[in-house]
Amino acid sequence: MPRTETHTPKDTDENGPQVEWTAQTRAEFRRKRRPKNLALMAILLAFVVLVYIVAVIRMGSG
């Protein structure tokens, strides 16, 4: 099967489109990203608490 070349637009590179980071775009990016970061933090914290509880229960019953 022959290999075909793919062409990418000139304003993009391997990592996606280039964005000029102004104060406004940076603030908008952070505003959109914050809820995702808080959700990830909550999930990780719940996992740590779960592991701690399981460890305490296992040590107490041994």
Query: How is the chain split into domains, by residue range?
Result: 22-61
Q: Is residue 18 within 8 Å of residue 11, measured between CB atoms?
A: yes
- Is residue 61 within a helix (H) or strand (E), and if so which, with residue range? helix 23-61
The amino acid that residue 14 corresponds to is: E
Residue 8 has pLDDT above 80, yes or no: no
Q: Is residue 61 within 8 Å of residue 55, measured between CB atoms?
A: no
Q: What is the mean pLDDT of residues 4-9?
A: 59
Q: Structure pTM? A: 0.60
pLDDT digits (tens, 9 = 90+) for 26-57: 999 999 999 999 999 999 999 999 999 999 99
Residues 6+ apart with CB under 8 A from 25: 19
- Using alpha carbons only, give the angle 17, 22, 27 rounded to the nearest 5 degrees: 95
Residue 7 has pLDDT above 60, yes or no: no
Higher-pLDDT residue of 23, 12: 23
